[in-house]
Amino acid sequence: MNNSSSTSNNIEVKDNSITLGDIVRVIKKNWILIAIITIFIFVSGAVYTYFIAEKTYKATSTISVEVPTTSEKVSVTEAGNSVTASLRYVQSIAEFVKSEAVMTAVSEEYKDITSYGKLRGATSVNYDTTSIIVSITVTTTDPKNSKILAKAIAEELAKYSTDSKDTTIDKKFLCTIVLRDEARYAYQASPNERLYLIVSALAGLVLSLVVVFIKEFASNKFKTPDDVRILGYPIINTLVNDKSKDKKDDNSLIDPTPKNFEPYNRLISNIKFANVDNPYKAIMFTSTVINELKTTVCANYAYTLAHNEAKVVIIDLDTRKPRLHEVFKVEKNNGIVEYLSGEINKNELIKKTDNNVDIITVGKNVENPITLLESKKLKELISELKEEYDYVVLDTPPLVACNDASIISNLADCVIYNVAINQGKKKEIKASLEQLEDAGANIIGINVTKVDTKDGGGYYYYYQEYSDKS
């Protein structure tokens, strides 16, 4: 018997880096989820844009600065260059727009629609040092109010011009302020509907991709057969989860057609090739958790061997959740428990089936099966059966459920470990394999089940997932 650790050490562990092909595969596999998330975010953004977000409107008045060239108003130097003087005043005037004097005057005049604080916060000023234009913009939730206030601020500012007829106002600037545009129209400032919709669509797409990549690459479960290779064991077979076929409730044996036998013929061949010079006869199947198709695979493997005219006996050693008697439609009683307890003899133990597979059922319930499984009598029975049959197939319970499989593994020539896609957690699977290795089990490979047809590739075989699993 080969040592499992040496097998593990000789297997090259697959590089776990993410390739472009992996990304494309994940997107193709999850395109429906990506579409749903993207549409949901986009629709949510549209609802917010058109029905929730408060609309604001901007109106802008513009003024220009002109410096008079007459000697009464300007110095001789400034009269020589009125444009330069105007540019010099632009910044000062722009700063004066939001002064207390201007804001107070306008807010008091239009106190029914604004206040000093609101007006100051709603007003913005822009100017260009290369021109003599100052833009005064007011933003409110009412386009009419925006136009009124923008015009009022510009008019109030113009009062401070040197040519103003209002003698009650102190002249702040030695220049003329001219109202050029009195905010004749207002436009919607926010929300920017087109921008919001574009951002919503992009955010939905990005979020959906993040969710999908986290789901696929950060998962604590194996997603594809290639992912399973990091365990360090060869993939001895792959069974694709063909959900398009009708499920059967009363039988987990495949229909006897060439297509259905093909994946199990592949499994039979790969087990033979694992040790051509000294073929394995006592073959054990186990898994990490339930629902990894362990019993289904075990039963159909034996069934296919029998169909290929091999003499096969299958032993149900899953004392806690036996299922093989249901699969082969025989009585559960008078099984391995009764035999190991000395209640029946070997002739009463083995049952014949209509499928040319001999079966040893579990028998009656037992509170502590470990004592029976560790008995010398079980080891002797398996040795005798190996002389009488071409193959002895052992169905054992999952490793997470109990330690039975570790004990039984020493009685088998080799162990086939079932790993179902999206079933057991990676840490549990690794721990279970280490548990078998510590027990000295000869794990020759992993049988991957429930593979998605999108991940199967051209060389994976289709397989029907039946409802009675273990």
CATH of domain 56-188: 3.30.70.1130
Distance CA 31, CA 375 (A): 54
Q: What is the pLDDT of residue 131?
A: 76
Per-residue pLDDT band at 6 (split at 50, 70, 90): very low
| Residue 47 reports pLDDT greater than 90 | yes
206-239: pLDDT as tens digits: 999 999 988 877 778 888 898 899 899 999 999 9
Percent composition of the chain: helix, strand, coil (DSSP 3-state, to 5): 45, 20, 35
136-147: pLDDT as tens digits: 999 999 999 999
Query: Boundaries of CATH 3.30.70.1130 in the chain?
Result: 56-188
Distance CA 440, CA 407 (A): 10
Query: How many C-beta atoms surround the C-beta of residue 332 within 10 A?
Result: 17
Q: 427-442 in b/e burial notation, b at 16+ Cβ within 10 A?
A: ebbeebbebbbebebb
- Would you call 461 helix, strand, or coil by DSSP? strand
Per-residue pLDDT band at 467 (split at 50, 70, 90): very low
Query: Boundaries of CATH 3.40.50.300 in the chain?
Result: 222-463
Q: What is the pLDDT of residue 170?
A: 66
354 contacts: CB under 8 Å, gap ≥ 6 = 329
Distance CA 470, CA 408 (A): 18
Per-residue pLDDT band at 19 (split at 50, 70, 90): confident
CATH of domain 222-463: 3.40.50.300
Residue that wins the pLDDT comparison between 466 and 124: 124
Q: Tokens 């428990």 appear where?
A: 337
Token pair recorded at residue 216: 């696929």
Token pair recorded at residue 56: 């604001």
How would DSSP label each residue in 229-297? GGGSS-EEEEEEE-TTSPP-SS--SPPSSHHHHHHHHHHHHHHHHTTSSS---EEEEEESSSSSSHHHH
| Residue 383 reports pLDDT greater than 90 | yes
Per-residue pLDDT band at 242 (split at 50, 70, 90): low
Distance CA 220, CA 404 (A): 25
Tell me how far CA of residue 129 lies from CA of 160, 168, 211, 407, in angstroms: 21, 31, 50, 89
Q: Tokens 């721990």 appear where?
A: 431
Average pLDDT, integer, range 257-261: 86
Per-residue pLDDT band at 132 (split at 50, 70, 90): confident
| Residue 382 reports pLDDT greater than 60 | yes
Distance CA 28, CA 131 (A): 57
| Residue 1 reports pLDDT greater than 60 | no
Residue that wins the pLDDT comparison between 461 and 109: 109
364 contacts 376 by C-beta, under 8 angstroms: no
